[in-house]
Amino acid sequence: MQLDKQVVIVTGAGRGIGRAIAERCVEEGAKVALVSRTGSQLEETAAGIRQARGIALPVPTDVTNLTEVVSMVDKVEGELGPVDAIINNAGSCFGVGPAWEVDPETWWQDVRVNVLGVHLCCRAVIPGMIERGKGRLINMIGGGTAGPITHIAGYGTSKAAVMRYTECLAAELKDYGIPVFAMGPGLVRTSMTEHQLESEAGKKWMPRIKEMFEQGRNVPPTLAANLAVELASGRFDALSGRAFNAGEDLD
């Protein structure tokens, strides 16, 4: 039980990758707080976990709202205990098309969720981790982190920013013994990629996604879940500030 009795927050936990991560953390002994905006999806995730006799606390939260994030962490610590790890998986990718044609508000919303959401959640748990002298932060990256990605510029820009933010936090928290990691899940079939497959903009500007899935390049979400557990377990704390991809042989 790599996460025995640890309290872990998973954002974007209502479905897809976040749900898989939450379920895997529980399998490894963690008490999990489930966070996303959609309460009904969180309840579905929680019901499955409870059926398997795990502990799950659904907390509907807009990760871009400071007040809601602070309230969420207070609730988690009040009901489950001090936070040992947070896995910032909540994300947005709806600004599809040439950067100069995408609606600026949609473009900015992708950046806002993917960057501000990560920052607010980290900001809310770090003081307690510093006080206790332990804790781990895991931030989700993706396409655009290491190089340009076409027709989802808001998403790509945000993921590059999350990588640098992870590096900055790792440097700032080094003396406190709090590791910070970035992790990439690979191309997973989720509601986000479904939007790229089914929307008119996605069909026009991102036909490569359909081609990649047809070629079998569909990474199961369980690989990201396994990676999240490995990083949260403490085995790789010496590599704080680094990026990891699902399916890699970490040893």
State how far the Cα of 237 lies from the Cα of 219, in Å rounded to an integer: 25
Report pLDDT for 197: 84
How many C-alpha atoms does 152 have within 13 Å on its Cβ side? Answer: 28
Amino acid making up residue 44: E
Measured CA to CA, the distance from residue 15 to residue 199 in angstroms comes to: 20
Low-confidence ranges of the chain (pLDDT < 50): none
In DSSP terms, which residues pair with 183 in a beta bridge?
A: 140, 244
Q: How far is CA 64 from CA 5, 52, 61, 123, in A?
A: 28, 31, 9, 12
Answer yes or no: 155 catalytic. Answer: yes
Which pLDDT does position 169 carry in this prediction? 98
Question: CB 50: neighbour CB atoms within 10 A?
Answer: 12
Which pLDDT score is estimated for 195? 83
pLDDT of res. 249 = 87
pLDDT, residue 213, reads: 85
User: Residue 243 is which amino acid?
Assistant: A
> Which of 107, 155, 205, 236 is labelled catalytic?
155
Q: Which residues of 52-80 are buried (b: 16+ CB within 10 A; e: fewer)?
A: eebbbbbbbbbbbeeebbeebbeebbeeb
Task: Specify the pLDDT at position 54.
Answer: 97
* Cβ-contact 90, 11 below 8 angstroms: yes
State pTM to two decimals: 0.95
CA separation (Å) from 154 to 63, 88, 124, 151, 163?
Answer: 18, 18, 25, 9, 14
100, burial (CB in 10 Å: exposed 0-12, middle 13-18, buried 19+): exposed
Angle at CA of residue 100, ends 99 and 102, nearest 5°: 65
**Residue 102's closest CA among 29, 181, 204, 230?**
204
pLDDT given for residue 53 in this prediction: 94
Backbone angles phi, psi at 242, to 5 degrees: -95, 165
